[in-house]
Structure 1
Amino acid sequence: MNRAMIRYVTSWILRLEGLLLCSSVIIALIYREFDVLPKYLMVIAGCEALGFLLAQKPEDSRIYQKSGYITVALAWIVMSAVGALPFVLTGEIPNYIDALFEIVSGFTTTGSSILKDVEAVSHASLFWRSFSHWIGGMGVLVFILMFIPVKGGSQMNLMRAESPGPDVSKFVPRVHNTASILYKIYLGMTLGQILCLLIARMPWFDTLCITFGTAGTGGFGILNSSCASYTPVQQWIITIFMIAFGVNFSFYFLLLFRKPKAAFKMEEVRAYGLIILTSIVLITVQIFSRTTLYHHLGDAVRDAAFQVGSIITTTGFSTTDFNQWPSFSKWILVLLMICGACAGSTGGGMKVSRILVLLKTLKKELLQIVHPRSVRKVMLDGETVEHTVLRSINVFTAVYFLIFGLSVLIISLDGFSMETNFTAVAATLNNIGPGLAGVGPASNFSAYSPISKLILTFDMLAGRLEIFPMLLLFVPSIWQRS
């Protein structure tokens, strides 16, 4: 394992984080929050100083697959450990475990919070929470790949370890160019939403924070009501962009390079759209016809569309307390939590592509039993899914549910209801934000014990990094010198 290269990449992470924290300094100056300003400056100075000390360029700049996973896991842990410091130093989240939970929730684009009153937090810290979504949405190492000089397939090993989904392919021959294209699409869509919300007369600070949360599919609100206080037009804009950011970015790449047939041929994107449409229809019918919560069909459709878009993309914003919805509608949302968005998007969850492959594999096995002599392959987008991909998806699914079950078991020691604990793990492992019952949209995660918060923090990191980079940290042989 190339320890010198891991240290070098970590130095880039620290220096970049210090630079990104400067955005909160600007916000503090705009709103004259001179009490929190020195605290942010202290963290920035520490980031830059430590980054400079670790910045010695190694002779061997190659990163192999094993080192790639470890580098990504450690980079996210360091980034989170440092990113929590402003909350502690300002006294807005004095407990470090709570602050770590909050910023990990931000960077992993989860949106779960321990804050009981977000409106009491300074503008600088509110901005840092929301901006962390945008940073983590596409991946900080994907951004660094545009600048950092590494050899051979090292960049691809980093990108595979950080990018969400069962497989990462290069759009163009050079990974540097792939990262550049990804961020140009990401930035372009972000600016598009900012423009739309400003035209819809949303205040500029709200526009930036909500857009960062939408783009990263994060979900930190800056109001206690999340997005319920915004106008119907503003809510529809957020809904559309949440769904758009949950689409595989390969789809946008193909459209950008005038290949619409190939773009709309993507089974995952078509399935994603069908799941969203079906869920909206089912929930709308029930909450409008079977409850007294809605007197106008338009309101029911808007809330259903918003919550479906928010949950399947694992964004986590809310316009209503869906804890009050009937069980059928609530459990549709739970299934959407597990399903998640498309691979290659900023969304979390298991990913639609994995669900499709698992269903196709199930169909293949059933038909194989009926016709033992037949030879069948699992196909996706007209191409055969390789055995290595099938194996990785099967292993991922098994480990996913193992971590899910163990996490629910451990946090159950705190004595909360099964619905609360189950959806708390579903919300964090799938990077969603709110769950049901005690961790619903009108509640938060503050009541959990420090141990449970650390378990849920691990789940957020594991969910964002596709589990394996975090698990490798616990394999003793990985740390042996080779």
Structure 2
Amino acid sequence: MNVRMLVNLLGRGLLFLSLAMVPCILLSYYTRGDDLFSLVTGFLISIVSALVMLIASFGPTGELRHREGFLFVALAWTLAGFLGALPFWLSGYIPDYLDALFETVSGFTTTGATILVQIDALPRGLLLWRSLIQWLGGMGIIVLTIAILPYLRVGGMQIFKAESPGPTVDKLKPRITETAKLLWGIYVGLTCLEIILLMVGGMNGFDAVCHGFTTMATGGFSVKSAGIASYNSAYIDAVITVFMLLGGASFTLHYFSLSGNPGRYLRSQEFRWYIGLFVAGMVVIMWSTRSMYGSFAEILRYVSFQTASIMTTTGYATYDYTRWPAAAQMTLLFLMLVGGSTGSTAGGMKVMRLGILIKYAHREILRLIHPHAVVTIKWDRVPVSQEVLSSVVGFSIYYVLIFAITSLILALLGVDFLTAVSAAMASISNIGPGLASVGPFASYADLPSLGKALLTFCMLVGRLEIYTVLVVLSPMFWRK
């Protein structure tokens, strides 16, 4: 185990995290907020921790190998959660540290689940920090899913390796660096474009920046207790819907499109499935809610927004969808399970895995009919290897198992059935709001402490594609 390399990378990550607090500190100072002390203290603790780690690991670090790669990914998100929670906890606005940790992990994993009820009551420094951690989490997820996990062969992600822009070397460090440079530029550019469009629609600068951060990250945190519904603007709804769909699509497709090859969108099988599922889900929900709205324009506005929000696992809401008919809620629950595209900031199982599983099931039916037939599963016209297929099937089994076990434990803690099931799904799929007591205009505040701790773990497991966490927790990982 290359401990020096691991500590050095974690130190760099914490240094970046601590520097990200500076804009929040400046805003708090400018607005004379009562969160200044907590932000400064959180900054000092984080930067001192980072400097200690960097000094301790000074010198040649060597290459990052598979074992260190798994451990780095798991520790980076965990440390970010523990240190990022300090401003919320020290400010007194979230007096319980477990609640502060829940809120912060929800941010960094771009889940969007919250224990806050009166979000408007938070000072602007904390509101900016709350939005910024989602945006930073989205930046990390882009590189994680496009550069790191394909290299580590996690959950079938190796099929994505050939699609990644940047160097096709087998060493992880240059791959992370070059991919980050290419894709973060697109991420920042799309965020800035959305902020401008929101301001054109009448949203003030602060709100536009915060919602630009949380939309592109498909995170869903808002600076308003009523969320996007508080603006009551069809224009703002439309802008956010478009950018949620962009955030839920693969960033490699955005890269190739901006590089002069927009046809890659239509040639991508995952993108076609992604848009197809979005349209199909929207049609089902529009049909089942047709009697609840006064016009086609109204139903299109609310249903398209909510379908995009759930499928991209953003978690925004402009309408309380728990009041929709059962068919509409079941459709949303299915879209929660699927999630967005591989290589996006969205959570869920991912459209690619669903597609491969469906093709796998279809192949088994054909084998029963024609026992001697040789049927090759293809994705994007490329044969899917047995390694990828096994990895996808294994990932899906673990996904369902963790979801079922989490739902059962929540039920044993006294949580009602619909809340338990939807909270488990919303956490492992990194969506945020669920159904019943954790619906779009509710919070997770009333759940038992053990339940919140369990869901915090589920958010991390889901965000890190399950295998990353399970590998590190395996005793075999620690044997020489």
1:11 — aligned with what? 11
Residue in 1 aligned with 2:452?
453
Q: Return the match for 1:261 from 255, 260, 263.
A: 263
Q: Describe how 1:321-340 pairs up with structure 2 within 5 A.
A: 321-340=320-339
Cα deviation digits, residues 153-195 of structure 1 (max 9, x gap) = xx95477569997334231225232221111111111111011
**Cα distance, 1:473–1:157 mapped onto 2, change above 3 Å:** same
Q: Are the equivalent residues in 2 in contact too, given 1:322–1:330 (CA < 8 A)? A: yes
Give the equivalent residue in structure 1 for 2:212.
211
Q: What TM-score, normalized by structure 1, do the two folds share?
A: 0.93
For structure 2, the 5+ residue unaligned runs are: 168-173
Q: Could you tell me which amino acid in structure 2 is paired with residue 78 of structure 1?
A: L
Q: Deviations over 1:313-352 (max 9, x none)?
A: 0000000100000000011000000000000001000000
* 2:138 equivalent to 1:137: yes
State yes or no: 1:171 paired with 2:173. Answer: no
Amino acid at match of 1:29: Y
Q: Once the 2 structures are TM-superposed, how far is the Cα of residue 472 of structure 1 from its aligned partner? A: 2.3
State the Cα distance separating 1:140 from its structure 2 match. 6.9
Cα offset, 1:449, TM superposition: 1.3
For residues 213 and 54 of structure 1, what CA distance do their matches in structure 2 show?
Answer: 30
Question: How far did 1:206 drift?
Answer: 0.9
Is the contact made by 2:105 and 2:460 (CA closer than 8 Å) also made in structure 1?
Answer: yes
- Secondary structure of 2:228's counterpart equals coil
Query: Is residue 73 of structure 2 the alignment partner of residue 82 of structure 1?
Result: no
Using the aligned pairs only, state the percent identity: 35
Structure with greater helix share of residues: 2
**1:294 Cα shift?**
1.6
**Structure 2 CA distance, aligned partners of 1:359 and 1:426?**
21
Q: For 1:437, give the aligned amino acid.
A: A
Kindly provide the CA deviation profile for residues 279-315 of structure 1, in whole angstroms up to 9, marking residues without a partner as x.
Answer: 11221122123xxx32222111111001000000000
SS at match of 2:28: helix
Structure 2: distance between partners of 1:111 and 1:163: 24
- Whole-angstrom distance in 2 between the partners of 1:342 and 1:200: 29
Counterpart Cα distance in 1 of 2:251 and 2:14: 27
Deviation at 1:478, TM superposition (A): 2.2
Provide the C-alpha distance between the structure 1 equivalents of 2:242 and 2:153, rounded to a whole number of angstroms.
26
Bigger drift between 365-374 and 467-476 goes to 467-476
Mapped to 2, the partners of 1:30 and 1:277 lie a distance apart of 45
Higher mean alpha-carbon deviation, 103-112 vs 4-13, is at 4-13
Residue 246 of structure 1 is matched in structure 2 by 248
> Which deviates the most, 170-179 or 181-190?
170-179
Whole-angstrom CA distance in 1 between matches of 2:384 and 2:448: 43
Distance in 1 between the 2:98 and 2:217 partners? 23
* Contact residue 112 and residue 433 of structure 2 kept, 8 A: yes
* Aligned mates of 2:35, 2:290 — CA distance in 1: 46
Structure 2 contact 142–344 (Cα < 8 Å) conserved? no
* Structure 1 residues 89 and 159: alpha-carbon distance in aligned structure 2, compared to 1, 3 A threshold: farther
Shift of the alpha carbon at 1:142?
A: 3.6
What is the CA–CA distance in structure 2 between the aligned matches of 1:313 and 1:161, rounded to whole Å? Answer: 25
The residue that corresponds to 2:276 in the other structure is 274
Q: What is the CA distance between 1:479 and its match in structure 2?
A: 2.8
Partner of 2:122: 121
What do residues 423-459 of structure 1 show as CA deviations (whole Å, max 9, x unaligned)?
A: 0011010000100001101211111111111110010
Aligned-partner Cα distance in 1 for 2:151–2:83: 24
Letter of the structure 1 residue corresponding to residue 271 of structure 2: V
CA root-mean-square deviation: 2.0
Residue of structure 2 equivalent to 1:21: 21
Change in CA separation of 1:121 and 1:79 when aligned onto 2, cut-off 3 Å: same
What is the rounded CA distance, in whole Å, between the counterparts of 1:159 and 1:358 in structure 2?
Answer: 19
Conservation of the 8 A alpha-carbon contact between 2:147 and 2:179: no
> Which residue pairs with 1:103 in the alignment?
104
Deviation of 1:30 after TM superposition, in Å, equals 3.0
Q: Structure 1, unaligned stretches of length 5 or more?
A: 146-154
Cα distance change, pair 158–435 in 1 and its aligned pair in 2 (3 A): closer
Where in structure 1 do 4 or more consecutive aligned residues deviate above 4 Å? 155-165
Residue 428 (structure 2) aligns with:
429
CA distance in 2, matches of 1:430, 1:212: 20
Deviations 1:352-399 (A, max 9, x none): 000000001111111111111111111011111111111110110011
The match for 1:150 is none
1:219/1:315 contact within 8 Å kept: yes
Structure 2 partner of 1:223: 224
Paired with 1:30 and 1:198, the residues of 2 have a C-alpha distance of: 22
The range that moved more, 14-23 or 333-342, is: 14-23
Deviation larger for 38-47 or 216-225: 38-47
Distance 1:271 1:393 in 2: 17
Alignment of 1:437-476 (within 5 A): 437-476=436-475
User: Aligned to 2:263, what secondary structure does the other structure show?
Assistant: helix
Equivalences for residues 280-429 of structure 1 within 5 A: 280-289=282-291, 293-429=292-428
Count of aligned residue pairs for this structure pair:
467
Local SS of the residue matching 1:224: coil
Report the AA paired with residue 230 of structure 2. S
The amino acid that maps onto 1:70 is: L
Distance 1:401 1:408 in 2: 10
Q: Normalising by the residue count of structure 2, what TM-score does the alignment of the two structures yield?
A: 0.93
Does structure 1 conserve the Cα–Cα contact (< 8 Å) formed by 2:142 and 2:343? no
- SS of the residue corresponding to residue 289 of structure 2 reads helix
Contact 1:15 1:52 in 2 (8 A): yes
What residue is the counterpart of 1:152 in the other structure? none
The CA distance in 2 between the partners of 1:323 and 1:162, in whole Å, is 38
Structure 1 residues 163 and 375, CA gap change in structure 2 (3 angstroms) = closer
Change in 2 beyond 3 A, CA 1:163/1:441: farther
Asked if structure 1 preserves the Cα contact closer than 8 Å seen for 2:286 and 2:303, the reply is yes
